[in-house]
Amino acid sequence: MTTARLSVPKEKIKFVLLEGIHDSAVQTLKDHGYTQVVTAPKALVGPELVELIADAHFLGIRSRTQLTADVLEKAGKLTAIGAFCIGTNQIDLQAALRRGVPVFNAPFSNTRSVAELVLAEIIMLMRGIPHKNAVLHRNGWVKSAAGSYEVRGKTLGIVGYGHIGTQIGVLAEHLGMQVVFVDIEAKLPLGNARQLPSLDALLQAADVVTLHVPETPETKDMIGAAQLARMKPGSHLINASRGTVVDIEALADALQRGHLAGAAIDVFPVEPQGNDARFESPLVAFENVLLTPHIGGSTAEAQENIGREVAAKLVRYSDNGSTVTAVNFPEVSLPGHAGRSRLLHIHRNIPGVMAQVNERFSKAGINIAAQYLRTNDEVGYVVIDVDSDSSRVALDELCGVPGTIRCRVLY
Ligand SMILES: NC(=O)c1ccc[n+]([C@@H]2O[C@H](COP(=O)([O-])OP(=O)(O)OC[C@H]3O[C@@H](n4cnc5c(N)ncnc54)[C@H](O)[C@@H]3O)[C@@H](O)[C@H]2O)c1
Ligand SMILES: O=C(O)[C@H](O)COP(=O)(O)O
């Protein structure tokens, strides 16, 4: 891979924001002097995506845009990526790291929105509302208590007790539910929640099972035919995590046989690219399934906050070099550098790079005012503050160091 020298004046830095990212992001960028912002309302794929990001310095996406190693390879100027959501499974994080591109996300801003939706779905499912609603839309009438239950006293099983799972547990207890959960980590149970030793134990105990794990190789098809068979007859499944976590054919089969009384599904193995595309799923046949178009985090509050939060992280990286909260990159927290020039150097983590940097600066007579270094297994990130009149020479020296992936001077 060739070394990228990326020192661009602010007004020439190009941001591309896809998937209808909230205007608060554009406003935040403008407030900080970044005026070249291109937006698109949906996810892009193939040549359309490659063409738009070919000269982008910063790219903002949500959960739909797939940033593979191949796509990243074609975005030679890319400096950082913002995932304006929680999940980062749509990005090849290792490929981005190897290209010296940090990835930032919004780990909390939409979690309350998901928790509120799931809480509503628990009640809707336990009262059989999806089916009753569908019947009335066909001019029918089903006034009956059969299959309708209060949630009070019932058991909610939470799979993945993180930011979303914990909030749902607390809200559900307020409704009088018993809460059990599983997680790969030992977690502090909030309220009266209890951590169970296995997924099987949870599936056998819960009246409603709700999934809140990330997409990983371990969570792929985590709920398949065998797990669905272990759920209580007449129980309900909610998935607002990732579409890959549930085997949809197996779920359709469990619903068909009447083993499950209902489900609420917000995420799907294959989702349409945008609002003009067609949605296909075997679940459309079931009136007892609440289907939503991946809108768990789609509220005005969440999207506005995410827009501001992730744009601010990109601005901070661009203005200051800070990589704090990057999900794939050595994290460096940096003070301001008023009165000095700041150089950023991203290199392969091989022996001798720092020795080379210091030797070259010493030979060129460049005084280092401050230096910060963090590494991980693959990459080193060093930030060097120098007197402004030596910044050009310093950049030339830095870019010449063997192992350099990227070097940049901040204006
Ligand atoms: N539907 C939506 O619009 C929407 C919105 C936000 C987030 N999400 C999805 O929800 C997921 C969870 O969000 P969060 O903020 O709670 O994340 P989080 O990282 O705070 O929590 C995830 C929890 O899952 C646990 N976990 C990981 N692998 C596991 C496994 N194999 N078995 C059991 N537990 C496991 C983790 O230890 C962690 O406690 C996100 O990764 C994202 O994919 C969807
Ligand atoms: O990962 C997330 O935060 C959710 O899946 C929401 O994704 P979205 O921004 O594409 O709605």
CA of 391 to the centre of ligand 1 (A): 44
Q: Is any atom of ligand 1 closer than 6 Å to the C-beta of 57? A: no
Distance set, CA 395 to CA 7, 82, 102, 172, 254 (Å):
9, 26, 20, 56, 62
Instruction: Tell me the best of 168, 184, 200 to mutate to test the pocket of ligand 1, counting ligand atoms within 8 Å of each CB and taking the most.
Output: 184
Kindly tell me the sign of the dihedral angle through the C-alpha atoms of 384, 386, 389, 394.
negative
CA of 102 to the centre of ligand 1 (A): 21
Q: What residues in the chain have per-residue pLDDT under 50?
A: 1-2
Instruction: Tell me the best of 105, 294, 310 to mutate to test the pocket of ligand 2, counting ligand atoms within 8 Å of each CB and taking the most.
Output: 294
The pLDDT of residue 5 is: 54
Among 131, 294, 316, 406, the active-site one is 294
Minimum-distance ligand to the CA of 195? 1
Q: Is any atom of ligand 1 closer than 6 Å to the C-beta of 111? A: yes
Q: Looking at ligand 2, which atom is closest to the CA of residue 294? A: 11
CA of 366 to the centre of ligand 2 (A): 46
Q: Is any atom of ligand 1 closer than 6 Å to the C-beta of 248? A: no
CA of 164 to the centre of ligand 1 (A): 7
Q: Is any atom of ligand 1 closer than 6 Å to the C-beta of 241? A: yes
The pLDDT of residue 218 is: 98
Do the beta carbons of residue 44 and residue 75 sit within 8 Å? no
Asked whether this complex has an ipTM greater than 0.90, the answer is yes
Among 116, 173, 271, 378, the active-site one is 271
Q: Is any atom of ligand 2 closer than 6 Å to the C-beta of 269? A: no
CA of 45 to the centre of ligand 1 (A): 26
Q: Looking at ligand 2, which atom is closest to the CA of residue 298? A: 11
Q: Is any atom of ligand 1 closer than 6 Å to the C-beta of 214? A: yes
Minimum-distance ligand to the CA of 115? 1
Q: Is any atom of ligand 1 closer than 6 Å to the C-beta of 343? A: no
Q: Is any atom of ligand 2 closer than 6 Å to the C-beta of 62? A: yes
Distance, in Å, from the CA atom of 63 to the CA atom of 83, rounded to the nearest integer, reads: 7
The pLDDT of residue 233 is: 98
Distance, in Å, from the CA atom of 177 to the CA atom of 320, rounded to the nearest integer, reads: 47
CA of 376 to the centre of ligand 2 (A): 28
Minimum-distance ligand to the CA of 166? 1
At residue 140, what is the residue type?
A: G
Q: Is any atom of ligand 2 closer than 6 Å to the C-beta of 88? A: no
Q: Is 242 a catalytic residue?
A: yes
Minimum-distance ligand to the CA of 292? 1
Place of tokens 């917000």: 266
Q: What is the pLDDT of residues 163-175, one digit of tens each?
A: 999 999 999 999 9
Nearest to 283 by CA among 240, 248, 246: 248
Instruction: Tell me the best of 118, 213, 223 to mutate to test the pocket of ligand 1, counting ligand atoms within 8 Å of each CB and taking the most.
Output: 213
